[in-house]
Structure 1
Amino acid sequence: MPTTVNAFGAHEAGQPLAPVTIERRDVGPHDVQIDILYCGICHSDMNFVDGSFGPLPVSPLVPGHEIVGRVTETGSAVTRHQVGDLVGIGCMANSCRECDNCRAGQEQYCLKGHTLVFGSPDPAEPGAHTQGGYSEAIVAPEDFVVRVPETLDPVAAAPLLCAGITVYAPLKRFAAGPGTKVAVVGLGGLGHLGVKMAKAMGAEVTVLSRSDSKREAAAALGADHYAATGDGTAFTELANTFDLILNTVSAPISLADYLGMLRLHGTMISVGVTTQPMPLDVFPLLQNGRSYAGSLFGGIAETQEMLDFAAEHKVTADIELIGAKDINTAYERINASDVRYRFVIDGSTFKGLTA
């Protein structure tokens, strides 16, 4: 029989979230059931809830895709996980597994469209939509559940399931490491992990932010350098400097200014999500043979690799732990840039909620 669980979700775009109950499907042969210990809050959760990505795909919609928990039940054919394992679920809950991209281990680029952990039609339950981690428990296919090393603090590891892999994947793809100069644009939930990951890879890291207000915070995270871009002088002083620029900002920026900071054959990668257009002039690309790229989180094997790397190098998110009843306040504070650097919800606080 399906299991009813307490959760926090949105009934209508643009309205506050509220306690709800949702049904979790039966555990199938290849599924695992997970009691959720912690779930991070990502800015893209808010984009779904506030209508930035369009109407809600289902009502209520339960967000949350930075999930860490313990396995409580496994299907009869499960081989990758056992009851009691500390595990995580990120942005995806399924994909076609057959297209070229899926076979290459890049399920996030599934040519038939991956299944988001919330808000997508659920191939395992025709007619239903997936529901996310702002809840007590979740059921997911074993192949889309990753092992969280026990040496990682589970509450601070939760944001790694989205923010961590979102910065790790492009840094790895474009060979950040010893001898490379990496600039991170923005010092929020993504940016602070971009600094930590790039430093752990051995790169020389500069934080680029509009004002001087985050200079000390950047140094505390391990950044080698800091430049305020608000008055425009940094674009001239640091022209032709960086091998990689990782743009983590979820708003339009002047691409031409930042592209001019790339040295020969340098690459700028955007990972922050904005629904507003950013004009791209081709001329700064032609100069120095520069490239501009985008990156969408990472595949399942790559996510596991990232977690193992994070455990080896002691990389976790800087977080503020909250209860379920504080979610709406957390959304307001994120919009006001009042968090360093990621909110994480205590999964135990969903118990006892009244819908």
Structure 2
Amino acid sequence: MNTTTKAYAAYNSNDPLSPFEFNRRTLRPQDVQIDILFCGVCHSDIHQVRDEWNGSIYPMVPGHEIVGKVVMVGTAVTKIKVGDTVGVGVLVDSCRTCKNCENDAENYCEEGMTGTYNAMERDGVTVSQGGYSSQIVVDERYVLSVSDQLDLKAVAPLLCAGITTYSPLRFANVSTGTKVGVVGLGGLGHMGVKFAASFGAEVTMLSTSPEKEADAK
């Protein structure tokens, strides 16, 4: 049975988001259905809604920084159960068979990842719709467990801005004594400074805005 989902969507590149209803797919064996509690606003959402990167598909439900509660699971789901708190980031599918997918780098899928919204799903027919909505259905492979001990509304931005800065720092083995330079103290810059400092690095923040010095410290 398809799930009717309430959402806010862009119907074109000029008007504000408006109420929108659509059907999420019927659960497949490895799917989980999530009631969305929080969804961050990423600047890429704005770019996509305004069609500033071209190729926007309307109506479009943005949002790829999703935190919620699992309310249903498919018959083959093994790592997630009903009631779990989970997150969904910028992708919801990939080919799963290429070298990158097999090495947990689905974002570099050789056939192209499926974005959480404004993308064609693997059936080549369905347009993915994102987290500015009441529910989402996602294969468990692309769902992350989230601790209930965390401030869930603060977790949401970690699913894009957070991983964007965390991943390269980890890839570079940043640790105590490593020297790290962060250019700019915007959304990503804040994350980069905090992560690098927490890893024990010597962090230098570069900015053309002197008034941000105190915030960086």
Q: Same fold (TM over 0.5)?
A: yes
- Asked whether the 8 Å contact 1:186–1:207 carries over to 2, the reply is yes
- 1:54 — aligned with what? 54
- Choose from 112, 124, 127 the match for 2:125: 127
Partner of 1:206: 204
Structure 2 distance, partners of 1:157, 1:135, is 17
Residue 95 of structure 1: aligned partner? 94
Letter of the aligned partner of 1:39 in structure 2?
Answer: C
Matches within 5 A, 1:262-301: none
Greater helix percent: which structure?
1
Give the greater-gyration-radius structure (CA).
1
**Alpha-carbon deviation of 1:151?**
2.1
- One-letter amino acid of the counterpart of residue 182, structure 2: V
What is the match of residue 288 of structure 1?
Answer: none
Give the count of matched residue pairs. Answer: 217
Letter in 2 for 1:85: D
The equivalent of 2:186 in structure 1 is 188
| Runs (5+) with no aligned partner, structure 1 | 220-355
CA distance in 1, matches of 2:20, 2:83: 27
- Give identity over the alignment, percent: 50
Q: Cα distance, 1:6 vs. partner?
A: 1.1
**TM-score, reference length from structure 1:** 0.60
After superposition, residues 17-28 of structure 1 pair within 5 angstroms as 17-28=17-28
Instruction: Read off the aligned partner of 1:157 and give its amino acid letter.
Output: V
2:138 to 140, 161, 165: 140
Note if contact 1:13-1:55 (Cα within 8 Å) is conserved in structure 2. Answer: no
Q: Which letter does structure 1 place at the counterpart of 2:28?
A: G
TM-score, reference length from structure 2? 0.97
State whether residues 62 and 132 of structure 1, in contact with CA within 8 Å, keep that contact through their aligned partners in structure 2: yes
- Provide the secondary structure at the position in 2 that maps to 1:194: helix
| Counterpart residue identity of residue 20, structure 1 | F
Give the match's secondary structure for 2:6. Answer: strand
Over residues 269-305 of structure 1, what are the superposed CA-to-partner deviations in whole Å (9 max), with x where a residue is unaligned?
xxxxxxxxxxxxxxxxxxxxxxxxxxxxxxxxxxxxx
What SS does the aligned partner of 1:206 have? strand
1:113 alignment partner AA: G
Instruction: Give the structure 1 partner of residue 157 of structure 2.
Output: 159
Q: Specify every segment of 5 or more residues in structure 2 that has no aligned partner in the other structure, as ranges.
A: none
- Once the two structures are TM-superposed, the CA of residue 25 in structure 1 deviates from its matched residue by 0.9
For 1:85 and 1:126, the matched residues in 2 are separated by: 31
CA deviation profile, 1:42-77 (whole Å, cap 9, x unmatched): 1111111111110422x2100000000000000011
What is the identity, as a one-letter code, of the residue corresponding to 1:158? Answer: A
User: C-alpha separation between the residues in 2 aligned to 1:10 and 1:192?
Assistant: 29
1:27-42 aligned at under 5 Å gives the runs: 27-42=27-42
Instruction: Give the corresponding residue for 2:81.
Output: 82
Match of 1:10 in 2: 10
Aligned residue type for 2:158? L
Which consecutive segments of 4 or more residues in structure 1 shift more than 2 A? none
1:215 has 2:205 as partner: no
* Per-residue deviation, 1:126: 4.7
2:134 maps to amino acid: E
